[in-house]
Amino acid sequence: MSAQKKIKERLTQLIKNIYTSGACDQLDLETIQKIVLLNIMFTIGVPMLIVFGVTAFLRNNINLGVIENISVVVIIFAFFHMRKTKNYILAGYISSIFMMMLFLTLFITGGIENSGHLWSFSLPLFLLFIFGIKKGSIFTLLFLLIVFFILLIPTSVLSHKIYHFDFLIRYIGTFILITITALFFEYIRTRTNKTIEEKNLELEKTVRELQSIGKILQESEKRFRELSDLLPQPVYEADLRGNITFLSRSGYELSGYAEDDFKDSFKSISMFVPKDHKRLIQNTKKIFKRKKIGGIEYRIKRKDGSSFPVIIHSAPIIKDGRIYGTRGTIIDITKLKQAEEEKKKLEEKLLLSEKMEAVGQLAGGVAHDLNNILSAIVGYPDLLLMNLRKNSSLRQPIETIKASGQKAAAIVQDLLTLARRGVPGKEVVNLNSIIKDYLKSPEFEKLISYHPGINIRTNLETRLFNLKGSPIHLTKTIMNLVSNAVESMSEGGTVHISTLNRFLDNPLRAYDGILAKGKYVVLKISDQGIGITGRSIKKIFEPFYTKKAMGRSGTGLGMTVVWGTVIDHHGNLIINSSRNKGTTFELYFPFTKEKRIVKKTEFKLKNLMGNGEIILVVDDENDQRKIAFSLLNKLGYTVHTLASGEEAINYIKRNSPDLVVLDMIMNPGMDGLDTFRKMKEIKPEINAIITSGYSETKRVKEALKTGASQYIKKPYTLQSIGIAVRLELEKKNSLGFYTRQQKK
């Protein structure tokens, strides 16, 4: 230890000895506080009085100097007397009397700069604390009466009087106010100390009662141990201090401890996880009070640090009416907790499924209405463009309207996917081709334009398996995942897109359930972004849950479309994400042995022109009838429109159209399926094209089985309705191109 530190410690001890001089352990706390206060006043007051006395002599104030120096002598005497006798009362009286004399002298003489009266304001605080309310009030009143009489002495008697009568009023009022305040605080302090003393007595009584329980009930330990060792659940005993005094064999096996671990006062609380300590203590106190608390759930720590859930049934150990500890049984509920967790997960999935179904029903209805509205925005621009010159100033605005309508139709397609009604008929596709087409698309170029610091790297399997699916939804899935990956890297980075063939020898745990054994086409998209939190991973596929930039990234349906596409393609996915290290999505799609059909996509308007064939359009929406009429009429067909299935049946009885364009959903009255069946009964040779704002439903499939030739989805375009009608009328590929039937 350094010399400086030793000097510091000795100085600290010296100061402590001076301030606690006269105090001892036998005294109560309040007495010790008063002795310390007197010592502080002695050690501070003596030097100050010496300085004041010298100053008074230098200013020729002999009387004040004498009194102050006499006070020094008396205070020093009182200090050493209190130190020797351990009695502060005499020191308090001596100090108080001389303080009063000193303050009276200062009051009469005016002190330095006529400020002597200010010292007297501290007197009530000192007297009330040292002597208490009763004696302190008497001393204070005595001092006030003396001051009062001094102030009343005429100037002729007290030649050096320095105070006016109006000062009497102000001083007396101020002194009384300070005294009342001191009385109030002394009263509060006294009551508080009394309350603390009462509480201490209660606590001491409680401690004595607990400490008096010293003898533990003696039982036949051997018989009890043999019986408890036969039980599958551990049995334990603990004393009043929480020390484990007995644990059955199964308890050792479950916790990993050995019997030797409990020989040296092993505290039972150390076997519980920290967050259960407070609850354990509270419940133990209830048991000691003989309250029934039933089975309580805790987590117990094994010797290796791992923990497991248990339910403990406890009761007090009682003999001769006295409590000596606790005993109880421990039930391992690990398997029960696992079952509850699994049940909770299933309930969460059910709740999400119900939520998705409810939102999906709403989205489906909205999408149907939007499709009807969009028909005009998508269909009429084709007619207007056909009637405009190539250099017309109106061509660009109309093309913009058409493009906007098509974008809106794409959003409707997302809503239909959300409603579980949006997957068109599947075809054999190769995921590599879809990825390459997307990377050449305007949507991808727009995305990259917002994020110039992003690099895209592809690693595509050379001989990738085919899969059977919807190119539209697979494209949207790739687009949404790439968009998420790009936007997660605000500082730039690399997105990796890869495909591979994978054969699972064993089932693989995935995001939703288990991937069965078999061959899969795997799409893998990785980023180096901020990652996804565990909470967000559980919610990312919910409708409208998004943290992406609104206006650039969509409407919050992107990941819902991804999930819907995976499910509709009978696949599953795996998500791996680390905070600030990136996220990887692996999508698994079942492969197919079927071969792809190469399609020609040339389109010539002249090949769609009709020759006056009679087309009957049946739709409950007037706007839809007008659009279909305008498009087909422009293509050279003779078009008749009707508003219901009932009207169509009456029309068929009298007429023989070449083809019927029949809406599936018509309210009120007969829908498209029932109408087509009645038509077939009247004229078996009649044929129809089914249309709907929804995609292919069970009713649509039933109509196709009944004999309807095709299904097309609204909103109509000149190309979609023209191709469908022309193909049906010619019954062969006479247009010079091939197209698949469009289904939803």
Cα separation, 27 vs 662, in Å, equals 106
Q: By mean pLDDT, which of 342-356, 580-594, 644-658 is the weakest?
A: 342-356
Higher pLDDT, 435 or 179: 435
Cα separation, 207 vs 484, in Å, equals 64
Quick check: 523 pLDDT over 90?
A: yes
Beta-carbon contacts of 304 under 8 Å, excluding residues fewer than 6 positions away, are: 256
pTM score, whole prediction: 0.48
Instruction: Express each pLDDT in 573-593 by its tens digit.
Output: 999 988 888 999 999 999 998
Quick check: 432 pLDDT over 90?
A: yes
* Mean of pLDDT values over 283-308: 86
Beta-carbon contacts of 273 under 8 Å, excluding residues fewer than 6 positions away, are: 298, 299, 300, 301, 307
Altogether, the residues listed in the chain come to a count of: 744
Higher pLDDT, 96 or 18: 96
Instruction: For residue 617, give the nearest of 667, 683, 688, 671 by alpha carbon.
Output: 688
Confidence of residue 162 (pLDDT cuts 50, 70, 90): low
Quick check: 423 pLDDT over 80?
A: no
Higher pLDDT, 289 or 74: 289
Whether the Cβ atoms of residue 185 and residue 132 lie closer than 8 Å to each other: no
* Mean of pLDDT values over 319-348: 85
Which pLDDT does position 338 carry in this prediction? 86
Q: By mean pLDDT, which of 270-284, 669-683, 705-719 is the weakest?
A: 705-719
Instruction: Express each pLDDT in 492-505 by its tens digit.
Output: 899 999 999 999 88
Higher pLDDT, 191 or 403: 191
Higher pLDDT, 122 or 726: 726
Task: Indicate the DSSP class of residue 262.
Answer: G
Among left, alpha and beta (phi > 0; psi -120 to 50; other), residue 614 is beta
The top-scoring range by mean pLDDT among 111-115, 145-149, 658-662 is 658-662
Angle at 347 between CA 343 and CA 351, to 5 degrees: 170
CA distances from 672 to 660, 688, 712 (A): 11, 10, 13
Which pLDDT does position 217 carry in this prediction? 44
Which pLDDT does position 185 carry in this prediction? 84
Characterize 429-439 residue by residue with b for buried, 16 or more Cβ atoms within 10 angstroms of its Cβ, and e for exposed. bbbbebbeebe
Confidence of residue 464 (pLDDT cuts 50, 70, 90): very high
Characterize 265-274 residue by residue with b for buried, 16 or more Cβ atoms within 10 angstroms of its Cβ, and e for exposed. ebebeebbee
Quick check: 15 pLDDT over 70?
A: no
Q: SS3 for 640?
A: strand
Instruction: Express each pLDDT in 21-78 by its tens digit.
Output: 655 666 666 667 667 766 776 777 778 778 777 877 777 777 767 777 777 787 777 7
Angle at 267 between CA 263 and CA 269, to 5 degrees: 150
- β-partners of residue 575 are 585
Whether the Cβ atoms of residue 294 and residue 329 lie closer than 8 Å to each other: no
Q: What is the mean pLDDT of the chain?
A: 79
* Mean of pLDDT values over 365-387: 71
Which pLDDT does position 402 carry in this prediction? 73
Confidence of residue 735 (pLDDT cuts 50, 70, 90): very low
Which pLDDT does position 226 carry in this prediction? 64
Instruction: Express each pLDDT in 201-259 by its tens digit.
Output: 888 888 777 666 545 444 566 666 666 676 778 888 888 888 888 888 888 888 888 87
